[in-house]
Amino acid sequence: MAQKTVLIVCVCVCVPAQKTVLIVYAHQSGGSFNSAAKDVAVEALKQQGYKVVVSDLYAMNFKASATVEDITGEVKNPEHFKYGEETMQAWKEGRLCDDIIAEQRKVEAAELVIFQFPMYWFSVPAIMKGWIDRVLSQGFAFSLQKMYSNGIFKDKKAMLSFSTGSMQTMYRPDGLNGDINVTLWPLQNGVLHFCGFQVLAPQVFWCPGHSPPANRTAMLDGWRARLKTLLVERPLTFAPCELFDLTFPGGFMLRPEVREEQRTRPHGITTGHHLGKPLPPDNQLKAEG
């Protein structure tokens, strides 16, 4: 009897890895508008197939203060403790404390990081500032060679989503609080863009605490609609490192030829690099084009 040969063909189907969004959330109350905004984001992103991880900082009792306790083992110079240098070395050696390592792992896994918070004193709440100080440590999130447009997280996106206690008109250039673009510059450029993130336009909920229920519902509906295309939005525009002389003799200043090129333009390059000119309109609120 002739021997029969059976050919088995194995077909391998490559399933794309599930993409992750990290929400760093700071509000004390589950009944707050910020909690509702966070819940809308979790629901909308999960419906699109994303894995959503929430770091609820108050519920976690996240430690805000950056201290020597963030390092396990001996420090290099206990008599003159330099937090940045010591934590960078500890990060290299795997000696940061557990809560920092856990948050850094979340950042590493995330395609997008959303910071959800009520604006306190024109900035983030102290507990979220502590997360920034401790988690975005030197070496992990930035280095002198890798920052801004050359930053470590240049393949990731990040954004601010926050509520204000004041109405929108108060944050205009001629409003009582001053230009919201100036307010946002330290956070969006000095933290997110500094670490290399592509920074998406902020989601600003203007004065929900003094708005009628219908207005608050409309705000959340607008956020829900935006979330459907959030990860394909164009990021905000910042001045790339290539415009600057990144040497110590050059002083990390704008290159002379770039300054000359900008001389006849009606606006500065960005909110921060205004060159003594009017600021680019809503540079920190919306993408160009």
Q: What digits encode the pLDDT tens for the residues 241-284?
A: 999 998 888 789 999 999 999 999 999 999 999 999 999 999 99
Q: What is the mean pLDDT of residues 63-68?
A: 96
* CATH 3.40.50.360 for the 20-235 domain, yes or no: yes
Res 250: pLDDT: 76
Q: How does residue 18 score in pLDDT terms, banded at 50, 70 and 90? A: confident
Q: How does residue 20 score in pLDDT terms, banded at 50, 70 and 90? A: very high
The mean of the pLDDT values for the chain is 93
Res 101: pLDDT: 97
Res 251: pLDDT: 85
Res 16: pLDDT: 63
Report d(CA 262, CA 269) in Å as an integer. 8
Provide CATH 3.40.50.360 ranges for the chain. Answer: 20-235
pLDDT at residue 14 tops 80:
no
Q: What is the mean pLDDT of residues 101-105?
A: 98
Res 17: pLDDT: 78
Report d(CA 192, CA 170) in Å as an integer. 25
Res 48: pLDDT: 95
Q: What is the mean pLDDT of residues 74-91?
A: 93
Q: How does residue 15 score in pLDDT terms, banded at 50, 70 and 90? A: low
Convert the chain into a string of H (helix), E (strand) and C (coil): CCCCCCCCCCCCCCCCCCCEEEEEECCCCCCCHHHHHHHHHHHHHHHCCCEEEEEEHHHHCCCCCCCHHHECCCCCCHHHCCHHHHHHHHHHHCCECHHHHHHHHHHHHCCEEEEEEECECCECCHHHHHHHHHHCCECCCECCCCCHHHCCCCCCEEEEEEECCCCHHHHCCCCCCCCHHHHHHHHHHHHHHCCCCEECCCEEECCHHHCCHHHHHHHHHHHHHHHCCHHHCCCCCCCCHHHECCCCCCCCCECHHHHHHHCCCCCCCCCCCCCCCCCCCCCCCCCCC
pLDDT tens for each residue of 211-248: 999 999 999 999 999 999 999 999 999 999 999 998 88
Q: What is the mean pLDDT of residues 110-130?
A: 98
Q: What is the mean pLDDT of residues 55-83?
A: 95
Res 248: pLDDT: 81
pLDDT tens for each residue of 165-210: 999 999 999 999 999 999 999 999 999 999 999 999 999 999 999 9
